[in-house]
Chains A and B, each alone.
Chain A
Amino acid sequence: MPETVALTVTRYRPEREAEPTSQTYEVPFRKDWVVLDALNYIKDKVDGSLSFRWSCRMGVCGSCGMTVDGQPKLTCAAFLSDHLPGPVRVEPLRFFPVIRDLVVDIRDFMRKLEKVKPWIIRPEEKPLSEGEYRQTPDELDAYKPFSMCINCMLCYSACPIYGLEPSFIGPAAIALAQRYNLDSRDRGAAERLEILTGHDGIWQCTFVGECSAVCPKSVDPAGAIQRYKLTAAVNSLSALLPWGQR
């Protein structure tokens, strides 16, 4: 095992440089360290000016996504030992505008997320006296995998379609729309139909499949999109039939 490992980190200080550069830091190697630990070591002991986002350190908050050796990863789950002998290349998430060093602008994703209405929509709530909305285990299973999304945006960073067509609503937003569409308590599928089947919706996806490959929570956004394509196609076909209805 090496004593130290090198990290080549992207630096971008807009007040100083027009384009990102990279800087190499030497950090102690420890078997139980992840890339985020190394970045925090740099921040605390070597160079306090390095900027990056992080919060929970345990794959729940979804804020520490970066590109590690070319792959979109949560840095709290990327062990240094898997990236030996180094130098470990740490870059900001691809396809997002960089604000500073490893910090990217996530507003585009936040806007898209809001557009698909990722909440339970009901025409009217039943009175409390009628009790809770019950679900069977099977009804829960129908949407549970999609509810595991932590909005880390690794899937956007892995999706070349999003890189080429930034208006694409994207994997996580569609998976989250499906999380509610498939929820037995939800009645909002029709409200989400327009945005999901519109110009920037599911038909932009050509099933590269990398979104599902990089997802740290096994959400399978690619599967969600393909399933919704089938639903949308059946929907529009049945609308053409005289006895069909939307």
Chain B
Amino acid sequence: MSAPVHQYTLHHPKWYRRRVSVWWWLERRSYARFVLRELTCVFVALFALVTLWEVRAVVQGPEAHARFLTWLRSPFFLGFHAVALLAVLFHSITWFNLAPKAMVVRLKGKRMPDALVAGANYAAFALLSAAVAFLLLRR
């Protein structure tokens, strides 16, 4: 038996592939918002470093801790903490709004509405924040 004369071959077109620009995240507002949300992690990391720094100061003694507290009152650190707070709030809010997408809660076979799932998250957030504030502010 001889090999078939007409063999099927895949068509190989001359494709054009557009490269994704490094500025892709400026092409749409939703992309920019997404990149902004991802960048909030930088502030979380920096805040964690500041906290570790404080722990180090506490270990070094009351004098070092007092010096650390003076630094915290400087305009640079006040500014940093204001921006970090905004970043973390932005992250938390987008995260809570995402919760109903990831969690489908069923009660008696019926799917709970998205607002209720997100609302439960916000309620837990408020409750925990209040508990932390109570612990810190009581004298």
Contact = CB atoms under 8 A, between A and B. Distances in A.
A174 interface: no
B30 interface: yes
A210 interface: yes
B30 A213 contact: yes
B20 A160 contact: yes
Nearest to B10: A107
Interface string B6-47: 000000011111101000110110110010001000000000
Contact of B16 (A19, A164, A220, A230): A19
A156 interface: no
Given A141-B111, A164-B20, A70 B27 contact: yes
B95 to A, nearest CB: 10
A97 B17 contact: yes
B120 to A, nearest CB: 15
A98 B31 CA distance: 23
Given A95-B20, A97-B16, A160-B25, A222 B34 contact: no
Contacts of B101: 220, 222-223, 226-227
Nearest to A141: B111
A139 to B, nearest CB: 10
Interface in A150-177: 160, 163-164
A239 interface: no
B52 interface: no
B98 interface: yes
A171 to B, nearest CB: 13
B30 A209 contact: yes
Interface residues of A, number: 31
Given A163-B20, A227-B102, A14 B34 contact: no
B13 A14 contact: yes
B109 interface: yes
Contacts of A220: 101
B34 to A, nearest CB: 5
A207 B38 CA distance: 10
B117 to A, nearest CB: 12
Contacts of B109: 138
Interface string A125-139: 000000000000010
A105 B13 contact: yes
A106 to B, nearest CB: 12
A99 interface: yes
Contacts of A19: 16
A83 interface: no
Interface in A11-68: 12, 14-15, 19-20
A15 B119 CA distance: 58
Contact of A94 (B16, B18, B34, B104): B18
Nearest to A71: B28
Interface string A90-104: 000011011110000
A138 B111 CA distance: 9
A14 B20 contact: no
A160 B15 contact: no
By CB atoms of chain A within 10 A, which of B14, B24, B109, B111 has the most? B14
28 contacts: A14-B14, A14-B15, A14-B16, A19-B16, A20-B16, A70-B27, A94-B18, A95-B20, A97-B15, A97-B17, A98-B15, A98-B16, A98-B17, A99-B15, A105-B13, A141-B111, A160-B31, A163-B20, A206-B34, A206-B38, A207-B34, A209-B34, A210-B30, A213-B30, A220-B101, A226-B98, A229-B102, A230-B102
Interface of B: 13-18, 20, 24-25, 27-28, 30-31, 34, 38, 98, 101-104, 109-111
